[in-house]
Amino acid sequence: MIKVNKIAPQTVEHFDPEGNSLGFLNEDESTDLRAQIAEEKTSGYSLIFEGERFEINKNGVIINWPNGVFDLLLKDIERIMRARFKK
């Protein structure tokens, strides 16, 4: 039976180069922030996930991307692909 699962968007706290919280950003907001960082080629931004700080480099890339951060879409696509090719 198909049912609608209510899924709250994940948020993760992000920080500016001075260590000030930018708030808890969802995936779209985080991606926008990372795009701005890449466009401006600035550094010093980070996020904290499960008590550990992860740097966002000047290319907008999260260094050592932590498992569990903004990965729901990827996991769902994997589910779809497995189901598609399941005999």
pLDDT in tens, 21-58: 999 999 999 999 999 999 999 999 999 999 999 999 99
Which residues, other chains included, contact 41 with Cβ-Cβ below 8 Å and sequence gap of 6+? 58
Q: State the Rg of the chain over Cα.
A: 16
Rounded to the nearest 5°, which phi and psi values hold at 82?
-60, -45
Give me the pLDDT at residue 55, please. Answer: 98
Q: Cβ neighbours of residue 12 under 8 Å, at least 6 residues apart?
A: 24, 25, 30, 47, 48, 49, 69, 70
By CB atoms closer than 10 A (0-12, 13-18, 19+), residue 18 is exposed
Q: What is the mean pLDDT of residues 3-26?
A: 97
Q: How many CA atoms lie within 13 A of 84 on its CB side?
A: 6
| For residue 87, pLDDT beyond 80 | no
Percentage, residues of the chain above pLDDT 70: 99
Give pLDDT tens digits for 51-78.
Answer: 999 999 999 999 999 999 999 988 999 9
Predicted confidence at residue 54, as pLDDT, reads: 97
